[in-house]
Structure 1
Amino acid sequence: MKPQSDVFEIVKRTSRLLQTGVVKGEPAWFKAVLAHPPSTADAVQRVDIVKLSKKHPHLSVKKMMKPMEIVYPEDRIRRLFYRQHPWELTRPRIVVEQDALDFQRCDWSKLEQEYKGLDGESVVQRTLWLVRKKRLPHDEAYDIARKEFYSLRVKETIERQTAEEEARMFGAVFSKSYNERGIENEAAALEEWKTRAQSVTKRMRSRFGMAGDEEEEASGEAEMDN
């Protein structure tokens, strides 16, 4: 069965299930497929191969059917930034659906924005603005944006530390950080493992008749303590 026939068969089955009430509510794709049914894949491939074979007779069919790579100007800047600053990926971010048009709503003549947090994407858009508006080379524009990013990060750190010190001065009590809690949990797990290991070792010694050696070691340690 061809792909187009498969799609129409699925639409018919879904329509019957909707009519009988087996499926409650139309799937998100139902009306879209009805409005824009797919064409047969064979015809599309045949046209593409004919056109490409005339234009590039030295290419094989496998290479001709390979999808074209989509590359954006900011991809190289983004990869470079996060390769140099991997810890920026660990910072908390608001995961919401966006339309990728922040670069149009923000004024990238400056790095700091009123309604957008400072992150790696800020460096990317600031670099592109310097390239397009100031006609600077990519490397020079990236260095400028990166240094501005460092300055703003230092400013944020100082403001956060100052606010914390002021809050402590007025009696605020902060809970332990995630790092401190993690260290405590790790120490507790190691202590529990140590206790279990000692218990298992003691049972193994008693099983193989080595309890006397353990008692001698304990008495020796007691004498040394005295």
Structure 2
Amino acid sequence: MKPQSDVFEIIKRTSRLLQTGVVKGEPAWFKAVLAHPPSTSDTVQRVDIAQLRQKHPHLSVKKLMKPMEIVYPEDRIRRLFYRQHPWELTRPRILVEQDALDFQRCDWSKLEQDYKALDGESVVQRALWLMRNKELSQEEAYDIARKEFYSLRVKETIERQTAEEEARMFGTVFSKSYNQRGLENEAEALEEWKTRAQTVTKRMQSRFGMAGDEEGESKLESSRAGEREQ
């Protein structure tokens, strides 16, 4: 059976299952496939490499057959923002898949949104809105969105610090952060290693007397080698 026939058979079966109520709700691909069914033509368009080489003699066959790179305006803005603000990539993000309908709930005539946390993508979408609705260039739109982003980040920082100070004033005790715990554990491990190293050194010095003779030094080196093997 041809691939096209397989696709149409799947559409027919899905339609029957939807009509009988066996499947609840249309699959995400159903309307898209109905609107744009696969081609049933058996002919395959062949590329005339000789003709392409005549038009582009300076390009190799590999470059002629290479697919065209697709670049969207938001890609350039996104790349510019994260190159200038790399630390924004370290902020925690929610990776749970949503319904992908943020564009219906967000109004990018302003940067601050009720349904979306402030991040680099907010700057990208705000700049695109300015470019489309205010007829600004990419540089002008990005500059406006970037400055609005800075203002909101400062506002968030002040609100967070104020809330923390108020909580401490009423007796709230915050636990240590992961960075603080990691630094303390590292300091404890280094201190333990330092204590063990001093103990081993003192024991070796008392054992051999550290007379400075070659025999004592050779015994000390052999003892250290034995301790490392253990």
Report if TM-score (shorter chain) is over 0.5: yes
Structure 2 unaligned spans of 5+: 1-37, 213-230
CA distance in 2: counterparts of 1:51 and 1:181, whole angstroms: 67
Give the aligned length: 178
The 5-angstrom pairing of residues 143-154 of structure 1 reads 143-154=143-154
**Secondary structure in 2 aligned to 1:109?**
coil
Q: Normalization by structure 2: what TM-score?
A: 0.65
- The answer (yes or no) to whether the contact 1:205–1:211 under 8 Å persists in 2 is yes
CA distance in 1, matches of 2:112, 2:184: 37
Equivalent residue for 1:21? none
Q: Which moved more, 1:120-129 or 1:182-191?
A: 182-191
Aligned to 1:139: 139
**8 Å CA contact retained: 1:111, 1:148:** yes
Shift of 1:172: 1.3
Do the aligned partners of residues 48 and 210 (structure 1) sit closer, same or farther apart at CA in structure 2, a change above 3 Å counting? farther
The 5-angstrom pairing of residues 1-226 of structure 1 reads 47-50=46-49, 53=52, 56-58=55-57, 59-98=59-98, 102-202=102-202, 205=205, 209-211=208-210
For 2:178 and 2:139, locate their aligned partners in 1 and report how far apart those are by CA, in whole Å: 37
AA partner of residue 166 (structure 1)? E
C-alpha contact 2:49 2:61 (8 A) present in aligned 1: no
Closer, same or farther: CA 121–181 of 1 in aligned 2, 3 Å: same
Q: Quick check: 2:111–2:148 contact (8 Å CA) kept in 1?
A: yes
SS at match of 2:46: helix
Q: Is the 8 A contact 1:49 1:65 kept in 2?
A: no
RMSD: 3.6
Residue 104 of structure 1 and its aligned partner are, at CA, apart by 4.5
Give 1:180's aligned amino acid: Q
Following superposition, the deviation at residue 195 of structure 1 comes to: 2.4
Contact 1:49 1:64 in 2 (8 A): no
Native 8 Å contact 2:81 2:120 kept in 1? yes
> Aligned partner of 2:79: which letter?
R
Counterpart secondary structure, 1:47 = coil
Aligned to 1:9: none
What do the CA deviations read for 1:1-32 (whole angstroms, capped 9, x no partner)?
xxxxxxxxxxxxxxxxxxxxxxxxxxxxxxxx
Partner of 2:6: none
